[in-house]
Amino acid sequence: MDNKMGKEIINNYRKYFNEINSGELYEAENTLKSIVKKEEAGEGYLNARRYLGMLYLEMENFDKAISELSMIVKIKEATKKKKFRNLAKECPEGFDKEEEERGHLAWVYHDLGMAYLGKADCEMAEKYLLKAYDISKDKKNIFRNDLGWLYYKWNKPEEAIEKFKASVNQGDNSGFPHFYLGLAEIKAGRLVSAKEWLNEAISIFDTNAHDPYDKSKRIFYELMKASALNNLGRIEMDNGEYRKSKRLFLEGLAICERQECQEYIKGLSPRRKTKESITIAALHNNLGLLHYKQGFLDEAEKEYIAALKFEELPETYNNLAVVYHEKGVKEKAESYLKNALRLDSQTEVARANLNRLVGGGANWWDWWFKP
């Protein structure tokens, strides 16, 4: 590749980096597409296609992410040649060494797995996440943790627990495996152990959230703490500790509602923004469920409606249906149950509730969403 073409490509990478930092994702997409054409016409580097796959993953366009990343795998497996340029060296103001490592094939397999997980294709996700783990030389804990998350989403809590415990034993002190161990233990029905892991995660998140030099890192860990507080509060509520659970839910909401946290969330990619929106919605939903358990229907309704403003969750619609049924508004109850099934046709409790409602069952509201 001649020097003029090389400089033009690096300048385009700088343009892409600025667009990403400004949240201009569609502009970044077009910039990367132009780099792909230039790189493949020259020495065949795959960096731009790699970043395009990452971008589509963050935009939750999983089909396009799979298409771009699969093309890289096909090329690499066919040529066996190194096809990633050293952007950390050529464009250090945009790409540091850690970011450049994401060009390695292990990360391509990893993101392919995460894209398939986004499509709920757990078998394909496992195939590529295992490949990523097998060929990676470092960052083993990251790949192992994401395998654990796959097994958690796949409703295989014991396999998830095995992965997360391995990361803890290998020195992962980020708090992530501790947090996800808590979630997996909840799914496995071991609430005492779940509380221990969640409390340990909160302690680690608190430590990481006191970094005075990195505001983004601090807010990130504060939001992780809010998610842990939500799950801890749910355990306390199911144990009948209503005062403890209310305090935990309100503490989590107070974190999420702070102005700097809201501004941080606004600047996230669609995929990461969805994650935080789900946390806030779950906090409102669980606070509503707490009010319902205490007999405060109006307060419960208010919290459920607040939850839906952040993210539509099937359990929130189901819980709203419970409230409207008790208020005698059958039409709204039926509508909300249908919305729950629209979001997730496998929400068995909503389907059972709808059958009871339509069939005139007397005690269907006892079947509200349970963990």
Question: Which helix H or strand E contains 364, and what residues bound it?
Answer: none
Structure tokens at 108: 């391509």
Alpha-carbon distance values, 152 to 72, 196, 296, 314 (Å): 28, 18, 33, 19
Place of tokens 């500790």: 241
Structure tokens at 321: 């249906």
Are the CB atoms for 240 and 215 separated by under 8 Å? no
Tell whether the model's pLDDT for residue 96 goes beyond 70: no
Angle, helices 242-257 vs 270-293, to 10°: value is 150
Alpha-carbon distance values, 151 to 5, 163, 369 (Å): 45, 9, 22
Tell whether the model's pLDDT for residue 354 goes beyond 70: no
Rounded distance between C-alpha atoms, residue 133 and residue 80, angstroms: 19
Structure tokens at 258: 């702070």
What's the number of CA atoms in the CB half-sphere (13 Å) around residue 13? 29
pTM: 0.85
Place of tokens 């319902």: 292
Rounded distance between C-alpha atoms, residue 94 and residue 102, angstroms: 14
Tell whether the model's pLDDT for residue 367 goes beyond 50: no
For the chain, give the percent of residues with pLDDT over 90.
Answer: 59
CA dihedral of residues 340, 235, 224, 203 (deg, nearest 10): 180
Q: Where is pLDDT greater, at 353 or 265? A: 265
The tens digit of pLDDT for each residue in 174-198 reads: 999 999 999 999 999 999 999 999 9
Question: Which helix H or strand E contains 341, and what residues bound it?
Answer: helix 330-343
The tens digit of pLDDT for each residue in 60-86 reads: 999 999 999 999 999 887 876 667 877
Q: Classify domain 1-138 at the CATH topology level.
A: 1.25.40
Rounded distance between C-alpha atoms, residue 219 and residue 28, angstroms: 25
Cα distance between the two ends of the chain: 58
What's the number of CA atoms in the CB half-sphere (13 Å) around residue 366? 3
